[in-house]
Structure 1
Amino acid sequence: MPTFPPFPDSQMGWSALRAMIRQHSPLAALEVFHHELGDVFRVNLPGFNPTVLVGPEANRFVLVTQRDELRWRAEHDPITRLLRDGLLVIDGEWHDTMRALMTPAFHRRMLAGYIEVMTCCTDQISAGWDDSPRDMLAEFRRMTLLILVNTMFGIDFSPEMGRLWPAVLRLLRYISPGGWLIWRDMPRPGYARARREVDRYLYGLIEARREALRRNQSEPNDLLGVLIATPTLSDDLIRDQMLTMLIAGHDTSTALLAWALYLLGRHPAALAQARAEVETVLGDSLPTLESMAELRYLEGSSTKACACIPRCTSARAPLPLTWNLAATVFPPEPACSIALPDPPPAGILAQPHLL
């Protein structure tokens, strides 16, 4: 007979709180509950009781089989307040329409033109590296921001990077898991100012591109041009898609690059093999789509690194859902989270063919 997911008891709650304080991450608390309660459980938080699912079967349930039965927009979450009607926080037909409109900018045929930009931006950031320790998450964030703004919006972000860097980081902290999960209306000082700074920049890009398209009557060749050329989109809706890409879009690549470098650094033999492959395939030549396809070991290593990133996807069930594999009923709740599988054994990075 189907049952509701279990709640942790008070002892588990204290253990989770200690783990969260010790590791400075809400993920630590979820790991405690997962260890004690299994792959499906609920968390008792003030104002809502999210259901948490863990593992590949749970991923498929939420992201594939029940995708159309879930709602991905939570009106009171910080990410919705920030992105408004951005692709990441809209549902149904409107989401599908916007995705179809934006997808051509990411098509494989566009990548050939992006490679030179990616190479130049990578060289620009790495030119400042020396033998001193570096925060590679920050370095890769700068790199991916330069690449994203250049390829998607057709603008060199370098002159504005220093000025907007604090605002971008503050917006990332605003949408990241934190105290707002428990206290929904907690004060968030500095957020409004950061949003205004970034908004001024984005609306300025929109205005300048509209004027350029009116003067030149040229075909749009990047995401910003496609959005502006769509008559049904207002400047506000274009801003929402641009901010979605600027904040959420670059962060995924940043995390992947940082995790991949960290894991390769922990496995010297794997790092040596990846470097040898790059030197053999590319030598002193710039990468192309064809040569990049030959970097199979590096691709396998980065794919495995992606699988190791502890990510969560949040959704809402408007009606009770049954996960047949676990005979579990999920009640309609404000949020339902799914955590990806645990990282693989340490040695598997050296064997990407096992993916």
Structure 2
Amino acid sequence: MRFSSYEASPGINSYHRLLFSSPNTMKDRKKAPPFHECELKLLMRLYCDSYEEYHGRGREPGKCGPSDKKHLLQHFAREVSNLGFYQRTEKQIEERLRADCKRVRKHERARIHEGQEAVLNSLPTYLHQLYECRKNKANGSGLLNLHDEDYDINDDETPTTWNKVEVITPRENNTPLGEQQLGQAFMEMEDAEDDIAPASTPLSRKLPRKLTKTIRSHGSTSPTDRKAMLYEEEIKLSLLRQQLAVEEMKLIMIKNDLARAQLERETIATERERFELERARQDKAAHDLLSNSVRLPGPCEHLNRKTESRSRASMVPLGVEALKAPQH
């Protein structure tokens, strides 16, 4: 082995063995995305609801199929994945639960020196439910100590990428400088994932307020129910769009009616002006005709004058001939 000397040396602690026995630890850690705050809250609620069933009360794996713990891990992974952030695996869920439980136990030990308020203030909000659940189980039965021992054994024997920083701490005396720097890097990454990652998630990954309220009020629902709810919302949206299209069509018809009424009003005004002009023209023609008839003499008077002039002309030659006739 390449690192057999380091493993045999008593000065190299378990943190160093973990680092060199898993060369793909950093690679696997980068592949697992940090948990969103909504994912953590849902996971803690599911875990606290099935706390006793999760710890050591399942069937034996070899006789009656997978244990209750495995079923619960599958259920947790499915419910958290249904939120739509990432596709979570059973291993990620188990490591997250182990790390959170160990973090709560660490603060429970600090409660003796700092008090309960200091413990709650130092814990993230999503871990308050787990803290109260463990407190109630400890007051009601002795299961909590058994679970703590179980978790301590698992953490020491099979440390994972989520809790390796809290389980194993590098020693200051017999640790190389590179190992100290790498340990600090792991600590910074762990702190960033536990505290900063949920708050610094991009806004595009945050759930809508309506969906968040639905999850909090109704709790976990099956994928079929979520699909049915989604279909109902889509149907409502399509109906609203149809109503909007109908209202827009009504608005267009009203605008057309207004335009038609305006056109009819303008047509009536134009016809009225034309009738007024025609009446004025007729009145003017009648007035001109009346004035011309007053100026010209009447037809009877003209005939009388003409007859009188003819009679006078016929009488004048007869008198002249009488004067010119010889006298016998």
- TM (normalized to structure 2)? 0.23
Name which one, 1 or 2, has greater alpha-carbon Rg: 2
Give the number of the structure with larger relative contact order, counting CA–CA contacts within 8 Å between residues 6 or more apart: 1
Structure-1-length-normalised TM-score: 0.22
More strand by share: 1
